[in-house]
Structure 1
Amino acid sequence: MPALDGVRGLAILAVMVFHFRAPELPRWAAAAPGLGWAGVDLFFVLSGFLITGILLDSRGSPRCLPVFWMRRILRIFPLYFAALALLLALSPTSWLPAEADRRYYWLYLNNWLNLLENRDVSHLLGHFWSLAVEEQFYLLWPLVVWALSPTWTLRLASAGIAGIAAARTDAVLCGIDPEFIYRNTFFRLDALLAGAACACLIRTANPARLVRLARLGIPFGLGGVALTVAAARSTHYNHPWIQILGYPLLWLGFGCFVLCCALVPGRWAWVSAKPLRGLGKYSYGLYVWHWPVACALVSIWRSWSLGGWSAAAAMQLCGFAASAVLAWTSYRVLEAPMLRLKRFFTLEAPDSQPVVRDFFSSSISAGTTSNRSPTIP
């Protein structure tokens, strides 16, 4: 769906703006770029929505789980492990995690390092934490969707969202390391579950009513984030108010945004714009490569004692350009050939899903969507 490709493009754009933002920005000008970390939350919501939708539409097949996992492997593993091996082999030792910690990256457990080893994770591979969170979700959540009906999946997701928000609040008030809260799977799972709940709702609720509620939820959620930031006088993801109030308001706003883009794409045409869809297509590679590029640029910035807006703008443009070149190259050389192998792992959705197919082939208000393919995308 073009609109959801555009949502993915928005997410990676926000993350890159956050990591490439100029250090000299005045406080008033840094507010919007300073919230760019929320692009990861948008990724989480979108991933939960898409993955749960795939699983719900194919859950009647006995081959659902192995095919799903195999397709995830083809999509995620090649670039991740190639980039990990390349960065570990070619980067300065001072930029990398300790030798003893590297096994966690090979196992997609690096986001637990704060707890397991009490290590600093702010290095060249630090951004891989979100990939670990998603991979752990992809491993376990399909079992839940396969075992439960859509209604019970929705109930479990809703209970999980409430429980995680309460547990995170308690952790913040008890003084748990905020960096651990930010990166830990358990404390960030509510965003993925919010997307999963949206996937269930889109298949079980009244479409017109769902659209009306989603349109109200966007300003409520994102407006609430703005008020929280104003009250906290901070956009930092580690601020207590952001972690207690900001995170839930973000996934609420983002979940409603994803619902609107899926249900009435005609009214959200700007999200389907070609530049955003292009960013969405290469978003995985952009995410993998942009942070090493940012680290290299920071090193150059410091060693050359650069300063001023013009130098900062030039460095930002170089960062975006270098990341785009690396992402495009890795997509053509590595990702695309692996994605072509997905044709060997297709799965017909069972005929027991007519509501889903009828729903997506109908128009809602002013927006229309084309018929969805009955195979796993």
Structure 2
Amino acid sequence: MTEQRSNLAGHFPAADGIRGLAVLVVLVAHALVMFIPATRPYLGGTGKIGVWLFFVLSAFLLTNKFLKKGINIKSVSEYFLGRFLRILPLFFIASAFYFYMGYYNTETLKNVLAFQQGFAHLWTIPVEFKFYFMLPIFLIAFQAIKKRFGVFSVAFLAILITIAFRYFYPVSLLQENSIETRWYISSFIVGIILSYILRNLNIPPRKYGFYILALLFLILLIIPSFCKLITGTVIVPNLATSYLSISIVWAIFIYFSLLDTGVTSSILSSSLMRKIGNHSFSTYLAHWFVLTQLAKKYTDSIPMMLLSIVASLLLGAIIYFVFEKNIETFRHRVQKVMASPSK
């Protein structure tokens, strides 16, 4: 935990584990509804819970890097190049693969590659990628107001932005799996504010396991079917439009997890969870293929469902070592060159 607290501007060991948790949530949710069709009316869409965690964590980590390096032409150029190399090559490979395997036609492939159309789980990639262009703009505004009025003014401005987006883009008009980032700005804003809070509030590290478990239980209560089973009623009727409330809970979860010195931090910082987190992008892109192929042949088979989850993780690891790791090595080399002082 000392490493995490002394490295608030850098890398958080538990962050990789949190990313691993996010992809496991998506995997388990998708596997359940594909292999056990009877669960679809009750668990359909629950994979989005993991997606919101991805959104919040991504905004948090990217903001943290900017706040460490500062916002200038050099850091922004390095950031954009890094995001392009991080996302696009693997996304293009995955999109081409699904086209080759007959999941969609040439016209759909063109639209998917151009971020004009989503496909299955791939709808989240355009959402997050478009946010990358907005992040520096948000941070320039936040840093300017922080310099003049203090850190609490940043939270106030973030609330105003969130209210504005919710007003102009009400969740009642949200289409399922929309690729338009504007609907999910509030989730990313939550991640940005989390970075400011963690850097400016001097909360001591200690065991937060009880709070973390309580937050995970609260996440479960947001799932309509689970909530009705436990309480007899439904608190949140539509999971797809509950991204703001889920994002806030996830942000608190991340906050306590990064400060925790107990079992939770040990689990999230473990070698297994960090590896799953490191492979999460490859796993996320590939898991749909594994699940759909096996679910067609082994419907209602729990053992095959569990096997499909393991197979997805293994395929994600293979793709990581064959493609993603090499792309990442190249990306870090380029960013290192860009970050080095000019002679």
TM-score range normalised by the length of the shorter chain: 0.7 to 0.9
Q: 1:284 aligned to 2:281?
A: yes
What is the total number of aligned residue pairs between the two structures?
Answer: 314
TM-score normalised per structure 2: 0.77
Cα distance in 1 for partners of 2:237, 2:209 equals 27
What residue identity is the alignment partner of 1:18? Answer: A
TM-score, normalised via structure 1 length: 0.71
Measured in 1, the distance between the counterparts of 2:258 and 2:226 equals 33
Q: Specify the alignment match of 1:86 in structure 2.
A: 97
Q: 1:341-370: CA deviations, max 9, x gaps? A: 213313769xxxxxxxxxxxxxxxxxxxxx
* Aligned 1:40-189 pairs, distance under 5 A: 40-88=51-99, 90-92=100-102, 95-96=103-104, 98-111=105-118, 125-146=119-140, 148-149=142-143, 151=151, 154-166=155-167, 170-172=170-172, 176=173, 178-179=175-176, 183-189=179-185
Residue matched to 1:203: 199
How far off its partner does 1:74 sit? 2.2
- Taking a change above 3 Å as real, the CA distance of residues 289 and 215 of structure 1, as seen in their structure-2 partners, is same
Aligned-partner Cα distance in 1 for 2:72–2:80 = 14
Whether the aligned pair in 2 keeps the contact of 1:48 and 1:193 (CA below 8 Å) is: yes
Q: Contact 2:95–2:109 (CA<8 Å) still a contact in 1?
A: no
Between stretches 287-296 and 214-223, larger displacement belongs to: 214-223
Residue type of the alignment partner of 1:190: S
Would you say 1:255 and 2:254 are equivalent positions?
A: no
CA RMSD of aligned residues (A): 3.6
Contact 2:60/2:195 (8 A) holds in 1:
yes
8 Å CA contact retained: 1:165, 1:248:
no
Structure 1 stretches of 5 or more lacking a match?
112-124, 350-377
Q: Please say if residues 145 and 153 of structure 1, whose CA atoms lie closer than 8 Å, have aligned partners that are also in contact.
A: no
Please give the alpha-carbon distance, in whole angstroms, between the structure 2 residues aligned to 1:24 and 1:240. 22
Partner of 2:311: 322
Report the equivalent of 1:299: 296
Tell me if the contact between 2:31 and 2:305 (Cα under 8 Å) persists in the aligned partners. Answer: yes
Q: CA deviation at 1:107?
A: 2.2
Q: Which residue of 1 aligns with 2:322?
A: 333
Which of 218, 225, 244 is residue 223 of structure 1 equivalent to? 218
2:45–2:239 CA contact under 8 A, matched in 1: no
CA deviations 1:208-266 (Å, max 9, x no partner) are 5x9999986984795276167269749xxxx854345x433211110011111223355
Q: Give the aligned residue type for 1:104.
A: N
**Deviation of residue 31 (structure 1)?**
6.3
- Residue 38 (str. 1) matches residue 46 (str. 2): no
Quote the Cα distance in structure 1 between the aligned partners of 2:78 and 2:131.
16
2: CA distance, partners of 1:68 / 1:270: 30
Judging changes above 3 Å, is the alpha-carbon distance between structure 1 residues 206 and 162 closer, same or farther for their aligned structure 2 residues?
farther
Structure 2: any 5+ residue segments left out of the alignment? 1-11, 230-235
Are residues 65 and 214 of structure 1, via their aligned partners in 2, closer, same or farther at CA, if it must alter by over 3 Å?
Answer: farther
Query: 2: CA distance between counterparts of 1:211 and 1:30?
Result: 40
**Percent identity over the alignment?**
23
Give the C-alpha shift of residue 26 in structure 1. 6.5
